[in-house]
Structure 1
Amino acid sequence: MDEPFFRAAVDPALQRRFDDPEWRRETLASQGAASARKAVALNLENLRILHQAGVKIGFGTDSGTLPQRIPGFAEHRELELMTQAGLTPAQAMRIATRDSAELLGLKDRGAIAPGMLANLVVLDSDPTQDIRNTRGIHAVWRRGVLSPAREAHD
């Protein structure tokens, strides 16, 4: 929660709560946190098994359904968790792009090719070397147009 990438995405009021040492201590020691840790471990194992079995996997964090799920950050965390489950960074990125577009029946996106929507995220470092490199966003192109710079990431 102290990473600049996270802080740029989280609502300031929620960040203040996360920064409260008493809230952190109580939350980390809670039964809910212990249950969540077990659930994440089980989810990672299930993902690994399903992926190895050839089951089609989609990407999505349900960001926004709870205040603790931070849109713009949660997706990067999901990629990281996918690699913790045993997928390579390239496999995780393929699931997040091409495979998810295919599962949704979106034939005009998910790959870089003629006739596809030109939505691109240009990174500062190679994410196949470390999936956390997806957090180093250099530029975003949406429908072939460079998006304005975001002050939080300048």
Structure 2
Amino acid sequence: MTNKDNTRFAKLSGDLWANAKFQMFAATNPHAAIIWVTALSYSADRYTDGYFDTFTAMRMFAATQDDLDALVEAGLLDLTEDGMYHIHDYEQYQLSKAAIDDISAKRSAAGKQGGRPKNIANTSEKTNQKANEKQNKSKTKAKRKQTKSKINQTQSKVKAKKS
């Protein structure tokens, strides 16, 4: 999720502080609990869908291998076959990159409509047709007027020559 200035957000349950599993984990592994929250933030900001590697965890989150092992043992992180870490159930609670891209595309398309009606193609076509008809009538009137004026000028010249 993002707001108007493109700051991205991760969802964190409002009652996480009261969750018995998390309370017990945080009491025995306070640094690892902070690493888990940091990993959520990182994943939302970088659109990683909850995946990160050991280097990122240790370098960017200041995690130790003990922290990561504790998170895996508690079921807060999963270790993938290729050695990556994945935040357990990330997709269940957070928006995936594909979902964010889809929302962004829909919002962009809606913004391009600029408040125009949904059936803009039909409305636009009808509006253009009416405008063209009106303009054609106006052009026809102008040409008739011009033609009458030329006829009058020619008639005046003919009369002047006869006199």
Give the TM bin, normalised by the shorter chain.
under 0.3
TM-score of the superposition, structure 1-length normalised? 0.23
- 1 or 2, which has the higher helix percentage? 2
TM-score of the superposition, structure 2-length normalised? 0.22
Over alpha carbons, which structure has the higher Rg?
2
